[in-house]
């Protein structure tokens, strides 16, 4: 899918560069996958789109950070893979939407450190404590890449599927209007109960449907 009219700011082009697009058949719909390169770090990111996302109508959207264990290995320690699947299914049902898939594993600490954090969690630490014991902040993810990715498609208004209010706040700071917040609460299970409660209590994620007002 080609970029819409109106090039992103030069600084955004330096931040992220479009590479190529192709069809991506999935169990829910035939999406288009769009590859982007981050020159400074060498990381590669993708966007999945369905339908005409370049119109003025708000676009159903998901910002998803890579989670190899959840997305590809079906881990029940988190809700990441289930969220990705639910987002793709919902977009397919509506026939229009976008998923930004950012390569920032383990809330930005990388895969190997994420496994080290898992080891600490097996010993009793929660997900925030584990990161901090390894010398990292609780959440190192960045979302400035969203602006050039969305600008490539001419998207300025979104209906955001997330439980994380930080994403909504950051998009607003980047000039992207979030016209609707759509909770994405899926795959609560005995293995991720503490993980979900920690995200609610320490990171401000919204799980009212699960825990009410007090996680």
Given the residues 141, 142, 144, 188, select the one marked as catalytic.
Answer: 141
Residue 122 annotated among the catalytic residues of the structure: no
C-alpha 215/C-alpha 200 separation (Å) is: 6
169 to 12, 131, 158, 174: CA distances (angstroms): 19, 23, 13, 9
Q: Among residues 30, 143, 36, which one has the least CA distance to residue 88?
A: 30
The two tokens of residue 178 are 């979030």
Given the residues 56, 139, 142, 156, select the one marked as catalytic.
Answer: 139
Residue 107 annotated among the catalytic residues of the structure: no
Within 10 angstroms of residue 18's Cβ, the number of other Cβ atoms is 17
Please, what is the Cα angle at 172 between 166 and 177, to 5 degrees?
A: 120
Burial class (CB in 10 A: 0-12, 13-18, 19+), 109: buried
Enzyme catalytic residues: 139, 141
């Amino acid at each position: 899918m080609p970029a819409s009219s109106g090039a992103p700011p030069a600084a955004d082009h330096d931040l992220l560069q479009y590479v190529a697009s192709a069809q991506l058949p999935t169990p829910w719909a035939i999406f288009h996958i769009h590859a982007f390169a981050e020159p400074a770090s060498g990381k590669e990111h993708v966007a999945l789109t369905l339908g005409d996302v370049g119109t003025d109508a708000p676009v159903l959207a998901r910002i998803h950070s890579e989670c190899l264990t959840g997305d590809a290995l079906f881990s029940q320690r988190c809700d990441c893979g289930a969220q990705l699947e639910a987002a793709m299914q919902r977009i397919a049902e509506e026939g229009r939407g976008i998923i930004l898939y950012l390569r920032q594993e383990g809330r930005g600490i990388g895969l190997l450190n994420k496994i080290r954090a898992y080891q600490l969690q097996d010993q009793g630490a929660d997900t925030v404590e584990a990161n901090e014991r390894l010398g990292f902040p609780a959440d190192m993810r960045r979302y400035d890449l969203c602006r050039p990715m969305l600008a490539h498609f001419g998207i300025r208004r979104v209906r955001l599927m997330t439980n994380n209010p930080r994403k909504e706040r950051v998009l607003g700071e980047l000039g992207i209007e979030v016209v609707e917040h759509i909770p994405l609460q899926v795959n609560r299970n005995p293995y991720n109960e503490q993980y979900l409660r920690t995200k609610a209590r320490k990171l401000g994620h919204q799980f009212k449907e699960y825990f009410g007002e007090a996680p």
